[in-house]
Amino acid sequence: MSGTLSRRDLLLAAAAIVAVANRSEARSYSGSVPWYPGLADAPQAAGGGGLEFFTEAEAKFVDAAVARLIPADHLGPGAREAGVTTFLDRQLAGPYGRAERWYMQGPWHDGTKSQGYQSRLSPAELYRNAIKSIDGHCRQAFSGRAFAELSADQQDQVLTEIEKGKLKIKDIGPHTVEIEGAKGPHSDTFFAVLMQNTVEGFFSDPIYGGNKDMVGWKLIGFPGARYDYRPYVARHGEKLDLAPVGIRGRPGWNEQQG
Amino acid sequence: MAKKLPAVDVALVGFGWTAAMVAEELTAAGLNVLALERGAWRDTPTDFAVTFAQDELRYMWRRSLFQEPARQTLTFRNSMDQTALPMRHLGSFLPATGVGGAGIHWNGQNWRFLPTDFIVRSHNEARYGPLPENMQVQDWGVTYDELEPFYDKFEYLCGISGKAGNIKGQIQDGGNPFEGPRARDYPNPPLDMVYGPTLFAAAARETGHKPFPCPAANMSRAYTNPLGVTLAPCTYCGFCEKFGCGNYSKSSPQTTILPVLMRRDNFELRTQCEVLRVNCDSSGKRATSVTYVDTEGREFEQPAEMIFLCAFAQHNVHLLLLSGIGKPYDPKSGEGVVGRNYAYQVVSSVDVFFDDKIINPFIGAGGLGVGIDEYNGDNFDHGGLGFIGGGYLACWNTHGRPIELHPTPKGTPKWGAKWKEAVAKNYLTTATISTHGAVMSYRSNYLDLDPTYRDVHGRPLLRLTFDFGENEHRMSDYLTERAAEIAKAMKPREIHAKKREGHYSVVPYQTTHNTGGAAMGTDPKTSFVNRYLQSWDVSNLFVMGSTVFPQNAGYNPTGTIGALTYAALDAIKSKYLKSPGPMVQA
Amino acid sequence: MKIAATSVFLACIAGLAAEAAAADTSFVQVERGRYLVTAGDCVACHTASGGKPFAGGRPVETPFGTIYSANITPDRETGIGAWTDDEFYNALHSGIAPSGAHLYPAFPYPYFTKATREDIRAIRAYLRTLDPVKSSPPPPDLTWPLGYRFLMSGWNSLFFDQTTFEPTAGKSDEWNRGAYLVQGLGHCGACHTPKNFAGGDESEHALQGGVIQGWFAPDITNAERTGLASWSTDDLVQYLKTGRNAHSGATGLMAEVVADSTSKLSKQDLHAIAVYLKDQKRQQSESNETPSQTVMAAGKAIYSDSCSGCHQMNGKGVPGMFSPLAGSASAQSIDPTTLIRIVLQGTRTVPTDARPTPSTMPAYGWKLTDAQIAAVLTFVRNQWGNAAPAVETGKVENVRRTVQGSSRAAR
């Protein structure tokens, strides 16, 4: 019954609770660099399961669109196979979709190109509005068919129009009715966001729902979330073929049976 | 009503590089120092650990470590005839928030400015005649020789890896022969060089240049600095800029100063406390306190004997304007000093595509590269070129993060099967030469308060009116052409020279080297602080950081910020503390 | 401005100290007591979280229940101000309070009994200089029948050897000084000696390492693989003084011991401790089964992707920053409890004035599964010439359960 058994870790534990509880509040620090065992600002992985943001119809649009932006071909899987739709769904359901970090106060003006994004639509609203506008446009131009129902060539044709900003996206905001006088962005704004997000979903860590089986990284030879290339610095010009590693590892981390 | 708190000797606004340096030196001098930081505490093992720091989406694209525009941003326009609009999300530059500031997520490219950079106006006028009328460049009021010991001090604090090019006037083989004379070599040898920069070095040499390893705040070996704080060797993980370092191998306030500072009982840090204004007494000659707000919206008045503005460059200017300290700059009359002389950096690049050479861009470190300095500052004859100043060219291997880096040759479609093929083909086999050019100050480039848009506290946003001038475009084009020549000498399949064209835009990331707005100088009519970074008007108020640059040079600013800070502290300790008051008579 | 005031204040302090030293020999006695209190790390147990130093009330969890440390400030009612010097001596030497009640050996009198009467008098002299604090610790909360203090007399007759330290003939003065500190006030064995069913020391295995509430205090004999054989005497002194040396850094419970106690001891005493510990020889049997190749392969993959950025592929680490694992005694401890805990929760090397860098291993508990932690530890324990039993997944599961609650992600 030696009481010295447990003694000191209690102090550490007490300090820790403070550290965790007050992370988002004003705090005073002095005397030492704080640290608490187990504390880690670990990433929030995308959840499994069904769609969190997109409707089924929207998901079909995104699936079809990203499959044209980064198609599956002889080089390997494309954005659709990499799970980019799931990635986008989780992103738009989260803080990015809600533009939580963005300055979203009016007044709203179009501005110049050099002034950047000036739509009052958050990314989630932009997608919702844009998909509605584009599918509406497709139904008109292609006898009632939505974007996802078009041939690959037709889809490429529509995407090219969107890229060039030829379509106007109706700003129906987060609401269901169009607000009078509210100006929607041109479709090139949406295209730029869509392509950027598609590349993100194709090349980001698999924990976010895209880059499934690290297919994006394998396509180009990026070894992923490694932290030590010292053994390779001097190996000039050598193709290293390192297995890509995600934040949650790679298949080799688990004991291979048989 | 703000609750009044007990006075301290020194209050610091913001807690990044300069604040940590000020706090360390002044607590060592026996003063009570309080730092007020608007962001949260963060440190290596908990906030950017090796277990999750290498996450491109989260840190680069979702901006986890940076300032949230929802809380604070600025409005921007290219010229006075436009309506400035808010920068709604970050792009061109990435101001920090949180303990350590941008010292957490910098690359670690740590340079000294050239001796002539500090006398830009007098030197260039003497050599090339009068400068254009709208160009507002001025001498700094301090010389390279005066700053040399403090550059040295900052380099030894950080453990910079590099190779001297000029030790006490003796040119050193393999170093930068154009640099000002230094008292001694860098504390650490250069990083091990990877393939791309090695190819660049050979081509640069072949074309008559003198390439050298760029000075890096990434450790080439374990290093213990003069404060007794140890850093570990860099592992070339390729997640430096925009990321925190997970294994203590990049210099930051956390890895060089805080372990010692935080142990001192005359230092206190308050996080999540945002300073709203600096208060002066009725004479307007003495700052008495700062008012800050905590996360619950409570306001506090914190009296202090000395106040240091150590926030990001633009925020210091914002705070001065909101506090009504110093005369706001008026571009029409050219009078006033607060907001004057805003400048930036002009960058461009040349992609160098190989068929047969595997570059492995992912083996990287923030300061890992080879540079040449033939076209920087006044290292070359500008006669007939139509511009002054210059920049360095460098082939960096900072990272291979694929959302950001997937170079494609000119003419490649922006999406679809051909894009995918080009990305797959060129990712491992492309090197890039970057140019990093100076930006001069102009009468029409400035900072003031926006008439329309407000921040989360209801204060007017800062308004930035800025565009590149003729000088910048000519100079950047010149640099890009030189880079293309060396690129061709690397014998690639093809190159793609990407000049900086058109107006300055806040959209694409360029650099976070925003400078000016409360310039240093010799004349209170054209500068806000004297050579010791002390306000001419309010002698117990000091402004740190690149806010005080009268214009920007062709180098990354951190080394010079460090040197200016230590030089100011040296004067504060030897002069001001003995006899508080103006250290330079106007 | 406070600058002038500060220097005046410093001058006063200096004057005061000089006067006290010159005027009264009891200053020497008090300072000696202060030093011995540091050597005994009394403050660690006798201070509650957020409480006044030495005012007690810190809960000490034992496998048999919770005991609260005593108030040892000079308050006459709640502290020890009313105790005579003899009563104080009796408490430390015999484990008996002035009331005649037996103390629980959570208070390590089985070690303090070795201390000389002179030293205990000096400790008392120092404690008498503290500000009295009125504070009564809660009564102990022990499993029946241990609440009966008289039972302790039985325990004492079984496990308590009440003898003042006697120098060993044939050993140097330094060795004996080390022995005195290790066996006595330093009470190293309280953690580093394995305990029997009743919490008494297994004295035949003295200092060979013991489990203490979720930690394994390592073997500090001179044993070849798991002990201090690869450390020089100076390595050991450096470790105790600065919290780290080329082999290792003090973490976990030892971090506090270094911060509060050993870093403040004289180099001579630390050297004496080192000389004594280096002389604690023992034989180890080496009969490890070779771990499964598939486990080693998985462990190697995890290590190269997740650990080498600090500890390097060759396991040599970065001395003073990241502990070397190749040849490390801790890595090869018979009991892997501490290793598992470190991987789950991370660990910090204690910062000291001499070595202020708080180099810290991050938590992996959220990132690696139990099987992955078992694999990577098995790899570390059996690579680069290391040899130690494989770590079982079930063991990781147990330790994870122990530390759960504290191993959560922030935000």
pLDDT at A256: 78
Integer angstrom CA distances of residue B119 from B124, B520, B583, C370: 8, 12, 21, 63
Chain A residues in contact with C215 by the CB 8 A cut-off are: 9
Q: Provide, rounded to the nearest whole percent, the portion of chain B with pLDDT above 90.
A: 99
C121 touching chain B per CB within 8 A: no
- What's the rounded Cα separation, in Å, for the pair A58 and A46? 19
**Which positions ≥6 away from A12 have C-beta within 8 Å?**
A36, A37
Q: Which residue has the tokens 């201090």?
A: C228
Helices (H) and strands (E) in chain C, counts: 17, 7
Both tokens of C33, joined, read 């007591």
CA distances from A94 to A88, A122, C293 (A): 10, 11, 43
Q: Which of B123, B315, B399, B513 is catalytic?
A: B513
Q: And the tokens for C271? A: 């050297």
- Residue-level pLDDT at C283: 74
Q: Are strands B346-353 and B430-437 parallel, antiparallel or unpaired?
A: antiparallel
pLDDT of residue C195: 87
β partners of residue B96: B66
Subunit contact B9:C1, Cβ cutoff 8 A = yes
Q: Are B61 and A208 in contact (CB under 8 A)?
A: no
**Interface probe with A: pick from B46, B265, B292, B293, most Cβ of A within 10 Å:** B46
In this complex, do A20 and C410 lie within 8 Å of one another by their Cβ atoms? yes
Mean pLDDT of all residues in B74-85: 98
Q: Which range among A35-44, B257-266, B297-306, B366-375 shows the weakest confidence by mean pLDDT? A: A35-44
Per the CB < 8 A criterion, the answer to whether C214 and C235 are in contact is: no
Averaged pLDDT, A221-233 = 97
Bridge partners of B212, per DSSP, are: B371
| Pair C248, C311: CB distance under 8 Å | no
For residue C64, the model assigns a pLDDT of 72
Write out pLDDT tens, residues C302-345: 999 999 999 999 999 999 899 999 999 999 999 999 999 999 99
Which tokens go with B257?
């100063």
Hey, is B276 helix, strand or coil? strand
* Residue C70 contacts residue C107 (beta carbons within 8 Å): yes
- Which residues of chain A approach chain C closer than 8 Å at the C-beta? 1-11, 13-14, 16, 20, 23-24, 32-33, 35-42, 226-228, 230-231, 245, 247-250, 252-257
Euclidean distance between CA atoms C153 and A28, whole angstroms:
49
Contact flag A5-C213 (C-beta cutoff 8 Å): yes
Q: Do A9 and C67 touch (CB under 8 A)?
A: no
Q: Is the pLDDT of residue A175 over 90?
A: no
Which residues from chain C sit within 8 angstroms of residue B45, using beta carbons? 346, 348, 360-363
CA atoms of B445 and A32, how far apart (whole Å): 44
Report CB contact under 8 Å: B70, A247.
Answer: no
Q: Given a cut of 80, is residue A181 above it in pLDDT?
A: no
Q: Is the pLDDT assigned to residue A5 strictly greater than 60?
A: no
Say what the pLDDT of residue C143 is.
Answer: 67
What pLDDT is attached to residue A170?
Answer: 74
Best residue in A8, A41, A245 for a mutation probing chain C (most C CBs within 10 Å) = A8
Q: Which one-letter amino acid corresponds to residue B377?
A: G
In this complex, the residue of C58, C107, C367 whose CB is nearest that of residue A248 is C367
Phi, psi of A30 (to 5 degrees): -160, 160
Between B335 and A18, the higher pLDDT residue: B335
Q: Where are the beta strands (DSSP E) in B176-256?
A: 212-213, 223-224, 230-231
What part of C 104-163 touches A (C-beta under 8 Å)? 104-108, 146, 155
Quickly tell me which residue has 């034992």 as its tokens.
C62
Mean pLDDT of A13-25: 43
Of B501, B446, B546, give the one whose Cα is nearest residue B14: B546
Grade residue A172 by pLDDT with cuts at 50, 70 and 90: low
* Residue C339 near residue C391, CB atoms below 8 Å: yes
- The DSSP secondary-structure symbol of B364 reads B
Residue pair B393/B433 in contact (Cβ under 8 Å)? The answer is yes
Instruction: Locate B485 and state its tokens.
Output: 């020549």
CA distance B469 to B344: 11
3-class DSSP state of C12: helix
Measured CA to CA in angstroms, residue C21 lies from C12, C15, C18, C33, C265 at distances of 14, 10, 5, 15, 20
Residue B164, both tokens: 């001297």
Structural contact between residues B350 and B152, judged by C-beta atoms closer than 8 angstroms: no
Question: Which positions of chain C have pLDDT values less than 50?
Answer: 1-24, 405-411
CB A174 within 8 A of CB A125: yes
Q: Do C360 and B247 touch (CB under 8 A)?
A: no
CB within 8 Å: B235 and A73: no
pLDDT computed for residue A7 by the predictor: 33
| Other residues' Cβ atoms within 10 Å of the Cβ of residue A239 | 11
Q: What are the beta bridge partners of residue B291?
A: B277, B301
Measured CA distances, B34 to A124, B31, B307, B308, B585 (Å): 42, 10, 10, 10, 29
Residues from chain A contacting residue C105 (CB–CB below 8 Å): 1-3
Distance from CA of A35 to the nearest CA of C (A): 8
Report the phi/psi class of residue A221: left, alpha or beta, with left for phi > 0 and alpha for psi in -120 to 50.
left
Kindly state the average pLDDT of the residues B517-540. Answer: 98
Pick C360's closest partner by Cβ from B29, B45, B577: B45
Least-confidence region, from A15-19, B190-194, B360-364, C163-167: A15-19
CA distance C124 to chain B (A): 29
Flag whether pLDDT at B356 surpasses 80: yes
Catalytic (active site) residue B513: yes
% residues pLDDT > 70 (chain B): 100
Q: What single DSSP character describes residue B61?
A: I
- pLDDT of A17 higher than 70: no
Residues 6+ apart with CB under 8 A from B297: none
| C-alpha of B102 from chain center | 9
Contact C302 A7 (CB under 8 A): no
Taking residues A249-255, report their average pLDDT: 95
Residues of A whose CB is below 8 A from B296: 25-26
Rg (CA), chain C: 23
Question: Which chain B residues have a beta carbon less than 8 Å from that of A32?
Answer: 262-263
Subunits next to B (3 or more Cβ pairs <8 Å) are: A, C
Partners of C195 in beta bridges: C201
Mean pLDDT confidence for B476-486: 98
Pull the structure tokens for residue B462.
Answer: 């800062």
Mean pLDDT, residues A113-141? 94
Q: Say how many CB pairs under 8 Å bridge B and C.
A: 84
Task: Calculate how close chain C gets to B250, using CA atoms only, in Å.
Answer: 13
* Residue in chain C lying closest to A11 (CA): C49
Chain CA centroid to CA C279, Å: 20
The CA radius of gyration of chain A, in Å to the nearest whole number, is 24
State whether residue B54 sits within 8 Å of chain C by CB.
no
Residue type, C294: T
**Average model confidence (pLDDT) across chain A:** 87
Using CA atoms, how far apart are residues B88 and A118, in angstroms rounded to an integer? 7
Please state the rounded mean pLDDT for residues B530-540: 98
Q: Searching chain B, which residue's CA lies closest to the CA of residue A233? A: B194
Which helix or strand (DSSP H or E) is residue B306 part of? strand B299-309
With a cut of 50, say whether residue A3 has pLDDT above it: no
- According to DSSP, the β-strands at B287-293 and B274-280 are antiparallel
User: Measured between CB atoms, does C210 come within 8 Å of chain B?
Assistant: no
| Sequence-ordered list of residues with C-beta below 8 angstroms from that of A235, at least 6 positions apart, any chain | none
Any residues with CB less than 8 A from the CB of C12 and at least 6 apart, and which? none
